[in-house]
């Protein structure tokens, strides 16, 4: 892995002299820049003297990008003054991929602070609670559209929707139409109480449901169990969906069970984990082998040249009382394994044998320090993360040692589910199931075609790593 460096290309100065006097005045008053290098909270507190009018919001946004955006030197420098929305200015400010070291920024986003707080503070999500396998059939339109995951506390779960069921239609649109247009918006409600008419097929039987959108409580750790490998080795299996604070007691319970059972192997299923808090990723990784990792560097954050003073921000492995003492861990991954969940893989690699099973991960080694202003939270790429060996920049994703395609007809955690079965086999023999490499080659081709890790219309799942 090459030594990391910040690129030296200079970003053009602000275009309009009319804004310069105001920006200088605000900065001199301590209003236009950052309150310091501490990334444990918002780097730009609410700015007194600036209202939430469109013009002043745009001025603040341009100043923020110039100060804290990771790609500030390579990014466009749009003027804040044309009469356009804050959202349009935000999109115009994003790095477009003109530096060969980095792909374009497809992760920075803005959202309502209510939605952000619902997820990270309340541990809830607004939706119907079922998630599609749209990405998984990308490039294979002849394959049926299926349910890949159901949130346990959602209306979809209450009405018995199961992983693997085929979607016939939703909101009056056929599955074939949605796949052909790459538009799955019927599954994304705009408010609580919204209803979705859904036709599902299981075998030859069809049924029609009316799902209701609710703000349901998330279940970040959905399954922890102990099973055996074919040769009788005890393996702990843990499915982690979201990296949020609410996962901590669930992790503690699962590892208490693993310790009591004397597990010899561990498989952590992150195939649908788009990330979350860096601190939670650190905790999850710390349970694997505390004797090898305690107080060692899990991840270091690297900021832009203007904020290099924050580059000593370092997360260290913890020493959980229930931690295991393993020398090897299995991580089950796919194209939705992103950001903070990839950080678990990268952070553990210098210390234990990390066997990645499944499909190539999404490739997002950069993260956010969220900033809230005027009821909007701005998640702008602020840093890249590297491990104790200074390794990072896996923008092409982390490729599996054992390339395995999942089978949606089998429940997560089933011993014969392909990814888990491959981990169990490898634990005994050290070998992967026979594979032609077609899966990895197909994923590479799709990445080259559009570089997207999530299809635009699928119900939104967070991708990122956040500090706070």
Q: Where are the beta strands (DSSP E) in 392-432?
A: 402-403
Residue-level pLDDT at 82: 81
Averaged confidence pLDDT in the chain: 87
Alpha helices in 219-277 (DSSP H): 247-261
Q: How confident is the model at residue 142 (pLDDT cuts 50, 70, 90)?
A: confident
Task: Tell me which of 110, 144, 176 is where a domain ends.
Answer: 110
- Rounded to whole angstroms, the Cα distance separating 53 from 106 reads 27
Query: What's the confidence (pLDDT) of residue 351?
Result: 98
User: Does residue 164 belong to any structural domain of this protein?
Assistant: yes
Sign (positive or negative) of CA dihedral 157, 251, 394, 360? negative
Specify the number of domains making up the chain. Answer: 3
Residues 6+ apart with CB under 8 A from 227: 234, 235, 237, 415, 424
Q: How far apart are CA 330 and CA 429, in angstroms?
A: 14
DSSP H or E run through 173: strand 173-174
Residue-number span of the structural domain to which 163 is assigned: 124-217
Give residue-wise pLDDT tens across range 223-249: 899 999 999 999 999 999 999 999 999
Residue 197 shares a structural domain with residue 345: no
CB atoms within 10 A of CB 355: 21
Most distant pair of Cα atoms in the chain: their distance = 74
Shared-domain flag, residues 196 and 254 = no
**Does 5 reside within a domain?**
no
In 3D space, the residue among 438, 235, 413 whose CA is nearest the CA of residue 329 turns out to be 235
Residues 441 and 408 grouped into a single domain = yes
Query: Which of 217, 241, 261 represents a domain boundary (last residue)?
Result: 217
Mean pLDDT of 68-85: 93
Q: Choose the weakest-confidence range: 3-7, 123-127, 208-212, 464-468.
A: 3-7
- State pLDDT tens for residues 453-464: 444 457 768 889
Would you say residue 270 lies in a domain? Answer: yes
Q: Does 2 fall in a domain?
A: no
CATH number of the CATH domain containing 205: 2.30.42.10
Residues 66 and 192 placed together within one structural domain of the fold: no
Per-residue confidence (pLDDT) for residue 17, from 0 to 100: 33
How far apart are the C-alpha atoms of 252 and 256, rounded to whole Å? 6
Judge if 180 and 249 occupy the same domain.
no
Percentage of residues of the chain with pLDDT beyond 70? 84
Q: Which two tokens stand for residue 306?
A: 């203007």
Task: Say yes or no: 404 and 268 in one domain.
Answer: yes
User: Residue 347 domain-assigned?
Assistant: yes
How confident is the model over 140-161, as a mean pLDDT?
94
Helix locations, 51-135, DSSP H: 54-68, 86-92, 113-120
Residue 149 lies inside a defined structural domain of this protein: yes
Residues 157, 248 within the same domain: no
Please compute, for residue 327, the number of CA atoms within 13 A of its CA located in the half-sphere on the CB side. Answer: 1
**139 and 97 part of one domain:** no
* Domain annotation covers residue 1: no
187-201 pLDDT, tens per residue?
999 999 999 999 999
Q: Are residues 98 and 135 in the same domain?
A: no
Would you say 454 and 259 are in contact if contact means Cβ atoms under 8 Å apart? no
On whether both 363 and 444 belong to a single domain, the answer is yes
Burial letters for 159-196: b for 16+ Cβ neighbours within 10 Å, e otherwise? bebebebbbbbbeeeebeebbeeeebbbbbbeeeeeeb
Is 171 contained in some domain? Answer: yes
CA dist., res. 125 & res. 115, Å (int): 8
> Do residues 394 and 369 make contact, with C-beta atoms less than 8 angstroms apart?
no
Q: Name which of 80, 34, 31 is nearest 59 in CA terms.
A: 80
Confidence of residue 377 (pLDDT cuts 50, 70, 90): very high
Q: Domain end: 88, 110, 132, which one?
A: 110
pLDDT exceeds 60 at position 88: yes
Task: Say what the pTM is.
Answer: 0.89
| Statement: residue 36 has pLDDT above 50 | no
Q: Tell me what pLDDT residue 325 has.
A: 96
Same domain, 201 and 234: no
Contact between 237 and 254 under an 8 Å Cβ cutoff? The reply is no
User: 421 and 435, same structural domain?
Assistant: yes
Least reliable range by pLDDT among 55-64, 76-85, 405-414: 76-85
Please, what is the angle between helix 278-286 and helix 340-348, to 10°?
A: 40
């Amino acid at each position: 892995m090459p030594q990391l460096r910040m690129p030296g290309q200079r970003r053009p100065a602000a275009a309009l002299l009319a804004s310069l006097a105001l920006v200088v005045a605000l900065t001199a008053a301590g209003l236009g820049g950052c309150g310091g290098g501490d990334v444990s909270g918002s780097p730009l507190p609410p700015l007194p003297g600036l209202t939430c009018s469109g013009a002043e919001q745009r001025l603040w946004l341009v100043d923020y990008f110039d100060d804290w955006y990771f790609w500030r030197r390579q990014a466009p420098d749009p003027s804040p003054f044309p009469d356009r929305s804050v959202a349009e200015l935000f999109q115009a400010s994003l790095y477009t991929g003109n530096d060969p070291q980095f792909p374009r920024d497809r992760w920075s986003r803005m959202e309502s602070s209510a939605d952000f707080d619902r997820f990270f503070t309340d541990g809830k999500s607004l939706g119907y609670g079922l998630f599609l396998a749209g990405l998984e059939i990308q490039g294979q339109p002849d394959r049926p559209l299926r349910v890949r995951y159901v949130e346990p506390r959602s209306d979809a779960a209450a009405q018995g929707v199961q992983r693997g069921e085929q979607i016939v239609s939703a909101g009056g649109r056929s599955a074939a139409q949605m796949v052909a247009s790459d538009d799955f918006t019927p599954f994304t409600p705009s408010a609580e109480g919204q209803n979705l008419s859904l036709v599902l097929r299981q075998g030859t039987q069809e049924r029609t449901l009316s799902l209701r959108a609710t703000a349901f409580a998330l279940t970040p750790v959905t399954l922890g169990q102990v099973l055996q490998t074919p040769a009788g080795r005890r393996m702990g299996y843990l499915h982690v969906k979201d990296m949020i604070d609410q996962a901590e007691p669930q992790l503690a319970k699962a590892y208490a069970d693993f310790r009591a059972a004397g597990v010899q192997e561990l498989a952590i299923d992150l195939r649908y984990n788009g990330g979350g808090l860096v601190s939670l990723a650190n905790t999850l990784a710390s349970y694997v082998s505390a004797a090898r990792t305690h107080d060692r560097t899990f991840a270091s954050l690297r900021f832009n040249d203007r904020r290099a003073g924050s580059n000593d921000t370092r997360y260290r492995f913890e020493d959980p009382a229930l931690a295991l003492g393993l020398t090897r861990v299995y991580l089950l991954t796919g194209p939705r394994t992103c950001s903070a969940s990839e950080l678990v893989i990268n952070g553990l690699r210098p210390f234990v044998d990390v066997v990645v099973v499944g499909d190539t991960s999404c490739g997002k080694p950069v993260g956010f320090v969220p900033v809230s202003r005027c009821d909007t939270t701005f998640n702008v790429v602020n840093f890249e993360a590297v491990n104790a060996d200074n390794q990072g920049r896996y923008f092409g994703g982390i490729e599996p040692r054992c390339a395995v395609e999942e089978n949606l007809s089998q429940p997560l955690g089933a011993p014969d589910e392909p990814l888990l079965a491959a981990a169990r086999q490898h634990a005994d023999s050290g070998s992967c199931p026979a594979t032609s490499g077609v899966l990895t080659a197909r994923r590479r081709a799709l990445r080259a075609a559009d570089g997207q890790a999530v299809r635009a219309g699928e119900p939104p799942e967070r991708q990122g790593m956040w500090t706070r």
